[in-house]
Amino acid sequence: MPTMSEKILAKASGKDEVEAGDIVIANIDVAMTHDLTGPLSVESFEKIGAEKVWDPSKIVIPFDHQVPADSIDSANNHLIMRRFVKQQGIENFYDVNAGVCHQILPELGHVVPGEVIVGADSHTCTHGALGAFATGIGSTDMAMVFAEGNLWFKVPETNRFEITGKLKENVYAKDVILHIIGSIGADGSTYKACEFAGKTVSDMSVSDRMVLCNMAIEMGGKTGLVEPDRKTIEYVESRSSKPYNVYKTDLDSPSLNIIDIDVSDLEPQVACPHHVDNVKPVSEVDKQIDQVFIGSCTNGRLSDLRDAAKILKGKKIAKDTRMLVIPASKEVYSKALDEGLIRIFVDAGALVSAPCCGPCLGGHTGIIGPGEVSLSTSNRNFKGRQGSPDGEVYLSSAAVAAASAIEGRIVAPE
């Protein structure tokens, strides 16, 4: 009667069965750190006297948060990580031109079902969209993973969101997850595995499922998960040659809590400052905006750029509004070029930047100043998240962001 998480963690810890609440030592299949969290992991690795990583083929190091380097400090961080990569023979290193870590890991075949994946980044839960147990850890924990190849976990209980109903036009996965977070609160799934299931999820693309899992952390979740199906397997087998294991949740599991969500009448949603669970229908939000940001590990994928371009084609962004578009990876950028999407954005008056995290973390390109308002397709709108603590950040889908850029205020797409 185990859940997906229990089955995956049992296998990873060499046990026949584990239950929610158990403490296990699980072997790690993939460990990821990047240019911002990596240097502390390296420093801690050296402090504990470790000399060699446990398996250089299972460590993935992308640069994405401050790329290209925008300060002496960030340039130094890059040097630390490049040196570590060479010293340790890390096989999977992606420098400044690859894209956002949570996009490129599945794109480049590092994620398959049934694995345990840890990342020194809270949105590592994104990879559960492919049926893996994926979670964020601290930089010092990552140092121990580098050294030993395993980590302790408390096996989580599971909230399974059974999502039904056909989404209306211009309503997307981002609206679904914002609606869920707004309904149960930022602490509504604390240290629980968040499974997304039901007909609505089955109809979603792998990219859309990544949106759901990406934001599981915003309701306190330990991880986000979607049971692998035909779409998952086709995606994985087209990108990876690694062996995999498909696990599904037994619905009679005692640690399972099922929450029914009907999205038939859902309209586009907006998370208002300064909390992700401060969610309102777009019809209830009328706010002038200074900047629109389309990108990030939540909504910088090709489907998001297509949604935005369809709305922006032949239009101009509002006079007093600036718009920043950042594809989530080099692959996304290349395909957007091939499809003419970049031309649409440029003609509309947007600035298109190279693949990176951009203003999402408030530490690099496109941050906002005091009193400014940003409408963003990213995942967090905490005070000061995208720059000045005196600014405001609203969250939405790419379609709402594009429509709002044209109007200069937050509106629903026509």
Q: Is the pLDDT of residue 363 over 80?
A: no
Domain boundaries along the sequence of the chain: 4-261, 270-407
Q: What is the pLDDT of residues 368-382, one digit of tens each?
A: 899 999 999 999 898
pLDDT band at 365 (very low <50, low <70, confident <90, very high): confident
pLDDT band at 358 (very low <50, low <70, confident <90, very high): confident
**What tokens appear for 211 in the block?**
């949106």
Beta bridge partners of 42: none
Query: Residue 201: enclosing H or E segment and its boundaries?
Result: helix 199-203
Q: Is the pLDDT of residue 265 over 80?
A: yes
Matching CATH topology for 4-261 and 270-407? yes
Q: What is the pLDDT of residue 66?
A: 85
User: Can you name the CATH fold of 270-407?
Assistant: Aconitase; domain 3 (3.30.499)
Q: What is the pLDDT of residue 366?
A: 87
Q: What is the pLDDT of residue 247?
A: 96
Average pLDDT over residues 347-372: 88
The architecture in CATH of the region 4-261 reads: 2-Layer Sandwich (3.30)
User: What average pLDDT is seen over the chain?
Assistant: 95
Burial class (CB in 10 A: 0-12, 13-18, 19+), 336: buried
> From CA 232, how far away is CA 38, in angstroms rounded?
30
Cα-based distances in Å from 279 to 252, 270, 402: 32, 6, 19
H helix runs in 48-124, sequence order: 72-88, 101-107
Q: What is the pLDDT of residues 161-213, one digit of tens each?
A: 999 999 999 999 999 999 999 999 999 999 999 999 999 999 999 999 999 99
Average pLDDT over residues 292-316: 96
Average pLDDT over residues 303-307: 97
Q: What is the pLDDT of residue 70?
A: 85
Average pLDDT over residues 311-329: 95
> How much of the chain, in percent, has pLDDT values that exceed 70?
100
Nearest to 130 by CA among 225, 217, 223, 234: 225
Measured at the CA of 117, the angle between CA 112 and CA 119, to 5 degrees, comes to 130
Q: What is the pLDDT of residues 208-224, one digit of tens each?
A: 999 999 999 999 999 99
**What tokens appear for 116 in the block?**
């345990």
Q: What is the pLDDT of residues 28-47, one digit of tens each?
A: 999 999 999 999 999 999 99
pLDDT band at 395 (very low <50, low <70, confident <90, very high): very high
Residue with tokens 């039904």: 164
Average pLDDT over residues 236-263: 95
Q: What is the pLDDT of residue 106?
A: 96
